[in-house]
Structure 1
Amino acid sequence: MQIDLLQTELDKIIETSNNNITITDQDGIILRSNPNHWSIYGIEPDQYIGKSVYQLQEEGILSPSIHAMVLESKKPVQILQKTNTGRTVMATGFPLFSNSGEIIRAISYSQDQTEIFNLQEQYKDLEKKLVSYQNEVEELRGKESDYHGILYRSSSIEQIVRTIYRVSKTDASVLLLGPSGVGKSTFARMLHAQSSRKNEPFIEVDCSTIPETLFESEMFGYESGSFTGASKQGKQGLIEQAEQGTLFLDEIGELPLAMQAKLLRVLQEKKVMRIGGKKERQVDFRLITATNKNIEEMVEKEAFRLDLFYRINIIPLQIPPLKERREDIPILVQHYVQTINEKYSMSKKLHAVTYDILTQYNWPGNVRELENVIERVILTADEETIHPEHLPINFKNISLPVEAHATPEIEHGVFDDADWKTAIEKTEKSLLLRALERCKTTYEMADFLSLSQPSVVRKLKQYSIVRKR
């Protein structure tokens, strides 16, 4: 009687599961399975119970068979299957051993992932169609664009801005990749601001700062009295707070595996249950994630779930570091000098050589480091003009080309206080010195400066500049 009850319970669990649960013996013969899910393989229940998974694999119904792989390797396996009905299935299989260590069963869980892959295909189709809408895209092409707080001149950032503009009209999940400090949260906010959800909440969560013991209560919330120290009124979780809006999970690579599984369930079922709750709540939000880690490498090392990776990686965007888009540095330097001056009611200026050093530096901390350095020197420099000696010690060894030292201060809009006549004289002298370094004769200097040769000779004499022999 007890055995019959257990059999009935097992059959009901398999039948009502959201996953397709299949159990085979050590020879690959199917013993039990969920009949409601086999339609994705194009066969009826009476066509697989009692059959060998090896036979179904040869017939192309299971391509490949997760059970065959588990029985062969005697280890857990996770794969993507392609069915003859055109579906894509995520399958995970586990071996079951006897007390003597012999494999006696293989159990698999599979779920239709076709919707996710269709979204990826729809995105590719959308990209092709939008190529023709050049007039709309041209609005984003400004060489010194300030677009939702994103300043750029580089073609790489321009391409990312274009892509964000396109995908913002959909609800596809976006994964922002790149080293720390490149501004991934700024791009996430831009994506939200461009979307149809722009008037709804934007909830940003730094996964690296929430302790694992508190993560579930923070993300899912809790009902009143669900644990010691809980608020009497209960608490709405961060996922619920993003209702109708955008949930941005920064540093998702830091998410513990246990939490990855729970997040995956929310993404699949669009439901969340508070700690201590008895009723699931429907949720609707757009998901954006970001990380500075190599997620694909983490998947290979089993530090990140493959099925969650497929959920968040529909639209991946790689944000390059500043050293790979050096043309963005000058506009960022000028922007932060102006912004920080306004913030503290100051009027500090950069000396030309200081400016050149900042634009030549590699900025390993990217935009965040650049902003911090400029704020530091503006606040700590005693003089109105910030000279190279005001910069942190790691900037002392930046070597500049000769022409950089000769670059007129007025060229950068940070020229020291001077009248018009003095400014022009300094500019002319600086240009002559630069030409003198590059050219061998006054005729070459004339070509370089787009002047006549007699004018070059006259100006060299005017400024007492003598060529060294």
Structure 2
Amino acid sequence: MIKLADISHDDFFLLPSGAKVADVLEDILDHHTQYIIRCSEKEVGAVYRTSVLLREALKNGSGSLGENILVSERFAVIQEGDSLLDLLALEDHPDLIVLVNEGTVPVGMIDGLEAIRKLLHDFYGMIPGTKLSLPEYRDIVEQLEEEIFVTDGAGFILYLNPEGEKVCGVKLEEVIGKHVSDLEKAKIFTSSTTVEVLKTKKKANLLQKLKSGKTVLATGRPIFDQKGRLVRVLSTTKDVREINHLMEQIEQKNKEIKHKNQELTLLRESIFAQDNFVCKSPKMTGIKDTIIKIAPTDITVLIQGESGVGKEVVTKLIHNLGLRNRYPLIKINCGLIPENLLESELFGYEGGAFTGANKHGKLGKIELANQGTLFLDEIGEMPLSLQVKLLEFLQDREFTRVGGTQKIKIDTRVILATNRDLQTMVNQGRFRRDLFYRLNVLPINIPPLRERVEDIPVLAEYFLDQFNNKYQMNKKLAPDVIEAFYEYDWPGNVRELVHFIERIMVISDADFITRDMLPEVFGGNPSPRQTIICTDLIPLKKAKNELEAQLIKRAYEIYKSTYKVGKVLEIDQSTVVKLLKKYR
């Protein structure tokens, strides 16, 4: 690289420190120099042209030369070892350059900067949109650990970077100007992407086997000028072994991620099973996916469903899978606590707030749930008088204890549950509309067991295993028991199923529970038939009709199913339907 010192000259006179121009005028004339450089305190202070100084001397006499009338040329000070390209970086556009050594002593000068800068621009240029010169850009390209192979639009080699020399096993000076087909003939490589690009005028990818025996993936790209003519072909290569190694690493990472996901899934499943959440139906599977998504958040959840469907189970899962599981899950049933005590249970009270209150006061459930989760069960039972205060807390996460004045800030997640239709209650004026919309941020509606019969066998098997472990038993359910479970409506939902399985396991003597062991409501052995006694005489046909009507109505009231009624009365289901229409 050309240095600034290579184009500098020493046609200057160095004015000693403290000396005046008038005192050394004769010495300046003897040296026949173009410039005079004044230095002060180890820095260049000014640069004068000798011609300007002589003109002043002739005009006013040498004795009248004052330092204040001498105007310095515009100059810049640069180290003598700097590169010629540093001239392009100068922003103030000086007229002269003063080169100094490490001791800041002037050792050379450069003038005619405008012409020099123009030549540099024309010769080196600058990469558009950057501050890089072409040599700098070439230095960068030559440092790439990827082959760069360039030909003209006819396939003659223009450039090969050092990595390309290494890959192909040739030197640039050996191949520059040759046609790329010559390298194929010399078996430098088996096939050429450049030739393919020249044929198709499109990007090409080929596997090349090199002279060294290595196989590489070569990519050729066409470069067109503004008129659409092919002017260059740029080719690059990648070592196939490196690609395969990278692919193996990616595959290994994917396996690790898959393994971690499997572990996470197993952990989640164990938490679901631990909290008695087992399912197979699409509806409950969708709820399960929702739980997994919302558990890590703090979004308010409103769980709705009939009594016994598992609202508390869902609440525990959201808490246990969430980020607050290190802190408590605090539950309060709004339907069990008397209205006059509910406010103090929720919000706590200050000492002496009311007659019989603890003199030290008491923390409410909301404060106990700080950092954790607050579960308000049976929210539909909350009195209207308390709904305003609850709404204020949900909006600001602040509340005031009963009998207190200080606002208390609480950080807690809120989950609510109800078996009531809150929207209907709102329409009836029995629940505040603004509170309903504050609670109904993310509703989860758990369907009753009769609407998700696919869950019955997996739930039955799960609870059967639980009670076998609890009571040290080894009992099984016959397939016809599950069929009976399908036919039953389960008004008590999952809670009823749990209690029934526990009861039938405890009272049955056999290890294999069959349908005939079930109560009559499940289609088991019917109760002993009662004897029909006639207390009066009526026409036989009328007696038959009355008895038929009573039996069919009574059976349907008990079983709520035409199939079950037909089985108990030992008639076809279609006959049951006809009789119900007849006697209704």
Q: What TM-score results when the alignment is normalised by the length of structure 1? A: 0.53
Which of 349, 352, 359 is the aligned partner of 2:476?
Answer: 349
After superposition, residues 228-377 of structure 1 pair within 5 angstroms as: 228-377=355-504
Q: Partner of 1:198 in structure 2?
A: 325
Name which of 146, 149, 155 aligns with 2:282.
155
- Amino acid of the structure 2 residue aligned with 1:217: S
Over residues 244-299 of structure 1, what are the superposed CA-to-partner deviations in whole Å (9 max), with x where a residue is unaligned?
11111111111110111111111122112222223221111111111111111111
CA 1:136–1:310 in structure 2 vs 1: closer, same or farther (change >3 Å)?
Answer: farther
Distance 2:500 2:313 in 1: 19
Instruction: Confirm whether residue 180 of structure 1 aligns to residue 307 of structure 2.
Output: yes
Alignment map for 1:21-100 (pairs within 5 Å): none
- Aligned equivalents of 2:516, 2:491: Cα separation in 1: 21
In the alignment, the residues of structure 2 paired with residue 328 and residue 400 of structure 1 have an alpha-carbon distance, to the nearest angstrom, of 23
Residues 380 and 147 (structure 1), Cα distance of their counterparts in 2 relative to 1, 3 Å cut = closer
Secondary structure of the equivalent of 2:465? helix
Say what the alpha-carbon RMSD is for the aligned residues.
2.8
Deviations 1:101-134 (A, max 9, x none): xxxxxxxxxxxxxxxxxxxxxxxxxxxxxxxx99
275 and 139 in structure 1: CA distance in 2 versus 1, 3 angstrom threshold: same
Match of 2:509 among 365, 379, 382: 382
The answer to whether residue 301 in structure 2 is matched with residue 166 in structure 1 is no
Residue by residue over 1:149-202, the C-alpha shift from the partner in whole angstroms, topping out at 9 and shown as x without a partner, is 310111111111111211222211111111111101111111111211111110
CA distance in 1: counterparts of 2:306 and 2:482, whole angstroms: 24
Deviation at 1:380, TM superposition (A): 1.7
**Change over 3 Å in CA distance of 1:203–1:392 after alignment to 2:** farther
Q: Distance in 2 between matches of 1:297 and 1:169?
A: 31
Partner of 1:209: 336
Using the alignment, how far apart are the partners of 1:250 and 1:295 within structure 2?
13
Q: What's the CA shift for 1:355?
A: 3.3
Distance 2:471 2:261 in 1: 38
**2-structure distance, mates of 1:227, 1:147:** 43
- Matched AA of 1:233: H
| Residue 225 of structure 1: how far off its partner (Å) | 2.4
Q: Which amino acid aligns with 1:380?
A: I
Counterparts of 1:392 and 1:228 in 2: how far apart (Å)? Answer: 53
Tell me, in whole angstroms, the C-alpha distance in 2 between the residues paired with 1:333 and 1:290.
25
Q: Quote the residue 1:420 is aligned against.
A: none
Q: Provide closer, same or farther for how the CA distance between residues 214 and 304 of structure 1 changes in structure 2, counting only shifts above 3 A.
A: same
Task: Find the residue that maps to 2:375 and give its secondary structure.
Answer: strand
| TM-score under structure 2 length normalisation | 0.43
Counterpart CA distance in 2 for 1:268 and 1:350 is 51
Q: Which has the higher contact order (CA 8 A, sep 6+)?
A: 1
Q: Which ranges in structure 2 are unaligned for 5 or more consecutive residues?
A: 1-256, 525-558, 564-584
* 1:388 to partner: Cα distance: 2.8
1:300 partner amino acid: N
Tell me what 2:180 maps to: none
In the alignment, which of 212, 226, 234 is matched to residue 353 of structure 2? 226
Equivalent-residue separation in structure 1 for 2:326 and 2:276 (angstroms): 18
Q: Give a deviation string over 1:294-326, Cα, whole Å, max 9, x none.
A: 111111111111111111101011111111111
Instruction: Give the secondary structure class of the aligned counterpart of 1:152.
Output: coil
Q: CA deviation at 1:362?
A: 2.3
Give the superposition deviation at 1:231: 2.2
- The whole-number CA distance in structure 2 between the counterparts of 1:347 and 1:297 is 47
- Structure 2: how far apart are the matches of 1:171 and 1:384? 47
Q: Count the aligned residue pairs.
A: 267
Deviation at 1:385, TM superposition (A): 2.9
> Aligned letter for 1:334?
E
The letter of the residue matching 1:210 is I
Instruction: Give the letter for the 2:370 counterpart.
Output: E
Counterpart CA distance in 1 for 2:456 and 2:378 is 25
Structure with bigger gyration radius: 2
Unaligned runs of 5+ in 1: 1-132, 402-469
Please give the secondary structure, in 1, of the residue aligned with 2:386: helix
Q: What is the rounded CA distance, in whole Å, between the counterparts of 2:288 and 2:482 in structure 1?
A: 27
Separation in 2 of the partners of 1:155 and 1:354? 23
> For residues 424-443 of structure 1, what are the structure 2 equivalents within 5 Å?
none
SS of match in other structure, 1:236: coil
Contact 1:173 1:286 in 2 (8 A): yes
What percent identity do the matched residue pairs reach? Answer: 45
